[in-house]
Amino acid sequence: MKLWIAFWNILHKDMRTYYLKPPNISWGLIFPLAWTGMFFIKSGSALGSIQTLLPGVVAISILFGTTSMLAVTVTFEKKNRSFERLLLAPIPLEVLMLAKTGGAILFGVANAFVPVVMAVFLIDLSQVAWGAFIPAVFLIAVASTFLGLFIAVAVSEVFEAQTFSNFFRFPMIFLCGLFFPVEKLPVFLKPISYALPLTYGADVLHGAVHGGHAMPFSLDLALLSAFCVGLFVVSLHNIRRRWIV
């Protein structure tokens, strides 16, 4: 019960304090919407293209939203030393970091539904397999958040976190099958695609929205889950090594 009180209050404080910070607004909301607009215009503004664009837009909304949030909640707090207060609390590090990342995961999930809500007014989404779509959104949010955590722990300044995040985020837009199918990538790029968690999340989203997926949902979701666990474990290890020196 005591752990739950600490967990919820950390999560609640982060949501209350950081959701409307400028980096989250610009990278988490404006940037994905700008990308959506760009692809929509490029497709000749045809409403039919929205269905094929939607999975990619959802995925980058989550990716940019969560990674931006972590740069603020973790790197910023580490920089101004308020993170020390959390490290001094009698909470297992695993619980502490789940609480710190929980706000970003929820932010990512909320971001994912911004383009979905917009699409509801433009196209018919009754054929979407929500049973696959929602778990995929959740797992993409978790994996992206833990990727953000991995980056946030590796740097010491917020601007470094944003820059370092872009090193991962921009290639992922092109390599993970968000807007261009992985099968059509050059052979030498395919291994990189399959080494990135978003590839599996995007595959589920494409399958759920318009039926075009390369792998079974269960395999995609299992691999995505494995990435989540792996990134979290590595991040915890790095926190112990770098911050409890």
Partner 1 sequence: MIDTIAVAGLRKCFAEVEAVSEISFSVRQGELFGFLGPNGAGKTTTINMLTGLARPDSGTICIGGIDCTGKPRAAQYLVGVVPDESNLYPELTGFDNLCFCAALHGLRKAERQARARELIDIFDLTKAAHRKFGGYSRGMKRRLTIAAGIIHKPEILFLDEPTTGIDVASARQLRHLIADLHRAGTTIFLTTHYIEEAERLCDRIAFIVSGRIVRIDTVDNLVQPMQVKNVVQLTCENALTDIEARLSESFPDLKFNDIGKGLIRVEGDAPIRVGPLVRFLEDQGGEVSEARRMRPSLEDVFVRITGIEADAMRKEKEKAGGGQ
Q: What residue ranges bind partner 1 (CB under 8 A)?
A: 1-3, 5-6, 8-10, 13, 17, 80-82, 84-91, 93, 244-245
Q: Min. distance of Cβ 64 from partner 1 in angstroms?
A: 23
Q: From CA 201, how far away is CA 79, in angstroms rounded? A: 32
For residue 160, the minimal CB distance to partner 1 (Å) is 21
Q: How far apart are CA 243 and CA 222, in angstroms?
A: 31
208-215: long-range pairs with CB below 8 Å, 24+ = 208/55, 208/128, 208/129, 208/130, 208/132, 208/133, 208/136, 209/51, 209/52, 209/54, 209/55, 209/125, 209/128, 209/133, 210/51, 210/52, 210/55, 212/52, 212/181, 214/177, 214/181, 214/182, 214/183
Least Å distance, CB 201 to partner 1, is 33
**Cα separation, 39 vs 192, whole angstroms:** 24
In this complex, which beta carbon is closest to partner 1, that of residue 8 or of residue 174? 8
Using an 8 Å Cβ cutoff, are 104 and 10 in contact? no
Q: Are 158 and 72 in contact (CB under 8 A)?
A: yes
Least separation in angstroms between residue 76's CB and partner 1 is 11
Nearer to partner 1, 94 or 124 (CB): 94
In the complex with partner 1, the residue whose CB is nearer, 80 or 126, is: 80
CB of 152 to partner 1, least distance (A): 17
Residue 45's region, left for phi above 0, alpha for psi from -120 to 50, else beta, is left
- In this complex, which beta carbon is closest to partner 1, that of residue 78 or of residue 169? 78
Structure-derived torsion over alpha carbons of residues 198, 202, 203, 204, reported in degrees to the nearest 10: 110
Q: Closest approach of Cβ 107 to partner 1, in Å?
A: 17
Closest CB to partner 1 among residues 5, 117: 5
Cβ closest to partner 1, residue 6 vs residue 134:
6
